[in-house]
A and B are shown apart, each in its own frame.
Chain A
Amino acid sequence: MNKVKSINKKDLLGLKDLSLSEIKLILRTARSMKEVAARPIPKVPTLLGKHIITLFYEPSTRTRTSFNMAAKILSANITNVAISSSSVVKGENLIDTIRNLEVMGVDAIIIRHPMAGAPLLASKNSKSSIINAGDGFNEHPTQGLLDIFTMQEKKGNLRGKKVLIVGDISHSRVARSNIWGLTQLGAKVVVVGPPTMIPKGIEKMGVSVSYDLDKEIEDADFINMLRIQKERQGKSLFPSIEEYAKLYGLNSERMKKAKPDIVVMHPGPINRGVEMTSEIADGPYNVILDQVTNGVAVRAALLFLLLGGKSSQD
């Protein structure tokens, strides 16, 4: 396969839009970035003078901080626009906000938005690079990439590996980005959750569907536990947290059925006692904190490739 040396794109809107070789390039570059991040002085001048803005219409700790760290490693300037104090609360629409930020001389806008397609709308109205940090139920591409990066770190080539994604698939952009990426890399993805949380036609994305976690966990290599939004309980998706935890949560009893080297993941923040018990969350199988560390490397790689890099260091 011919290796690509750069990403010939203005934006990163989703893993759906990336080719296999582009995904591999980002992952390769992230390995170099992880090495940079581990240096005593974790800083390179690659993006010196570049201006990046984070524009978050939804709360975030991990993703926003991670992008900030990544930008700083590359010596870029980064400004965080907090929506609660911005003119959006005065009724400014997305396109106007984007255009105003752009004319200030911004190279990239990292956007998180509660509605699918908002980053695309921003992209169509902007010359700056748009990086999707999560849009509605659509995609969270950097989360998908850092999950895949972490999986490869643990088990190498993902071809043929069985990955369970468990939880509210319908309302999960993390699930979708994982699926787009993992299926390209040849992993066998099974989505697991109550039928009310499995969206229509998801099989067409190349995954299989199961309602039986006990069965699926037996030969799984990875299990990615999605965060359950407690506010959805008692509506129509599921009757109670207790019932959900019993049927789809990870506990030590259920873990006994898994292969000894299963890798447990979670995009955070964890609801302890819901998606997993504290025993599991703090236990030996999980890579949840590795995911967070790797998030910085993956995001640095992406900023580098979109804003400065002509090639990766390999």
Chain B
Amino acid sequence: MASLLIKNGRVVDPSLNLDAKRDILIEDGKIKKIGARVFSRRCSRQVGRGAEVIDAKGRLVLPGLIDMHVHLRDPGRPDKETIASGTRAAALGGFTSVCCMANTDPAIDTPAVVKYVRNKAETCGVVNVFPIAAVTRGLKGEALAEMGLMLEEGAIAFSDDGNPIMQADVMRRALEYARQFGVPIISHCEDKNLTAEGAMNESALSTQVGLPGTPSLSESVMVSRDIMLAREFGKVHIAHVSSAASVDLIRQAKRKKIPITVETCPHYFTLTEEAVADYDTNAKVNPPLKTKADLKAIIKGLADGTIDAIATDHAPHNIEEKNVEFNLAASGMVGLETALALVLTYLVDTKALSLKKAVEKLTSAPAKILGLNKGSLKAGSDADVIIVDPKEPWTVDTSKFASKSKNSPFNGLKLKGRVLCTIVGGKVVVRDGKLLV
């Protein structure tokens, strides 16, 4: 494979504790060298033989982002997304690795389906795809799925995401059993009984618009249960945390060294329940958007390290399932193509997080949680790299999304931070903000 030299960029790599001007040489799909002025003119000329040079002056050069929580709808719902379309959306958004959830049809609950996802990713995908397999068969929350065999086929973690594991004894056995593999169980924390018919956050606003509310407790009660289980049985990763109460519980648990890790999603630090006040189904998501106080608590949790990672919970839905009565509309929003810009605009520009910290939550933090050998520009690593224009504002236009689904509440929003170039394993898949594949 040809070599590639990225010159003059501001390289931000939390795994190397680095935020400085550096050059990066990529050879044979790996990071060959990273350094300041290591490539003198003479040296450049040497490596330049046959090497492509990208001038990243004024740009950010980051490890390829890792999204530890996406729904690719493959197998089962090619009208909403496929591995082909979802990984292209990922590439445009700067994600070089995505971890796809098991609530497909059929579910990723057997070694064969894990294998299908891996094969499909190999042949049709343009970024790395890591399947997260089901904890229980059919995501029913009852009998354990074949975790060991699914790991052998390439699953990297387990989750029944979309469905909570309501029975504490099942969750207990899952955590105990998963211990032998050292991989986390990712928990969608929701008490279905408390949620009941809830369609938005239960609050003065739900009272005023007459929608059935989901109490914030629906999440925090389960977070609290899972913290207790993690204390006894080990490693829980809590998905899409959305409430102040949950952040508080997690902060206390971490102080007590209970082995839990946490992600939140861009919509929980950018939007509040007000986004659904006009019954906008594109802002209907589970867990539901909460109040300003919750949003502030999420940002504080990100800043003080209570929340480890940022994931999109990319949840593609077609217009038929969104352009209906609010109660009937599917929950979830697409996120791959807006996440980085939302982080840069709403967390970094506002100085809530340093750039390095923000990048960490999108790269080395999820890599560490999942034990992935990704998210670093250290010499010898896979050459997953992105180049970002941090300054030029752009406007979200869902009609231009590579995702098959357009269910974003951010359509029309002006953001900063555009992905110009995405390199996966040394191969340029996005250039000048456009897909090459």
The interface of chain A, by Cβ under 8 A from chain B, is 16, 93-95, 113, 115-118, 120-121, 135-139, 170, 173, 176, 199-205
Q: Which of B15-23, B110-118, B199-207 contacts A (4 or more CB under 8 A)?
A: B199-207
**A95 & B209 in contact (Cβ 8 Å cutoff):** no
Residues of A within 8 A of B211 (CB): 116-117, 136-138
**A115 & B326 in contact (Cβ 8 Å cutoff):** yes
Given contacts A121-B279, A202-B207, contact A116 B213 (CB under 8 A): no
**A117 & B279 in contact (Cβ 8 Å cutoff):** yes
Tell me, yes or no, whether B152 is within 8 Å of chain A by CB: no
With A118-B325, A203-B204 known, 17 other A-B pairs at CB within 8 A are A93-B320, A95-B323, A116-B209, A116-B210, A116-B279, A117-B210, A120-B278, A120-B279, A135-B210, A136-B210, A136-B211, A137-B211, A176-B210, A199-B207, A200-B206, A201-B207, A201-B208
B332-359 toward A: CB 8 Å interface, digit per residue (1/0)?
A: 0000000000000000000000000000
**B207 & A115 in contact (Cβ 8 Å cutoff):** no
**A137 & B210 in contact (Cβ 8 Å cutoff):** yes
Tell me, yes or no, whether B228 is within 8 Å of chain A by CB: no
Bound-state CA distance A205–B209 (Å) is 11
The interface of chain B, by Cβ under 8 A from chain A, is 202-213, 278-279, 320, 323-328
Bound-state CA distance A117–B205 (Å) is 13
Looking at the complex, which one of A116, A139, A203, A205 makes contact with B327 (CB distance below 8 Å)? A116
Looking at the complex, which one of B204, B209, B324 makes contact with A204 (CB distance below 8 Å)? B204
Nearest CB on A from B203, distance (A)? 6
Nearest CB on A from B297, distance (A)? 19
**A204 & B208 in contact (Cβ 8 Å cutoff):** yes
Closest B residue to A204 using CB positions: B204
Given contacts A120-B279, A121-B279, A205-B208, contact A200 B324 (CB under 8 A): no
Closest A residue to B276 using CB positions: A117
Nearest CB on B from A155, distance (A)? 27
Nearest CB on A from B12, distance (A)? 43
Residues of A within 8 A of B213 (CB): 199-200
Nearest CB on A from B57, distance (A)? 47
**A201 & B327 in contact (Cβ 8 Å cutoff):** no
**A139 & B210 in contact (Cβ 8 Å cutoff):** yes
Closest A residue to B280 using CB positions: A117
**B324 & A121 in contact (Cβ 8 Å cutoff):** yes
Looking at the complex, which one of B210, B326, B327 makes contact with A173 (CB distance below 8 Å)? B210
